[in-house]
Amino acid sequence: MKKLRCKCNSTALKPISGIMIGDPITKDRKEWVVYKCMNCKIAGVLTTIIKNRKKFTKYTLKK
């Protein structure tokens, strides 16, 4: 997995909180983890969706 980067190009991201919703039968799950940059203090959300054994990740910055 490649390192997450903030828009200030820093990799000093610290996870603050997270939510996971999962289905135990199909093993599909959704995760939201809030990361905060230690450099510029901007928070972002990493969304992980696992569906049919495929993993999709997306990192979006909060405004």
Question: Which tokens go with 60?
Answer: 């979006």
Rounded to an integer, the average pLDDT of 42-56 is 90
Each residue of 16-32: pLDDT tens digit? Answer: 999 999 888 888 999 99
Residues 4-20, mean pLDDT to the nearest whole number: 86
The model carries a pTM of 0.74
* 3-20-46 Cα angle (round to 5): 25
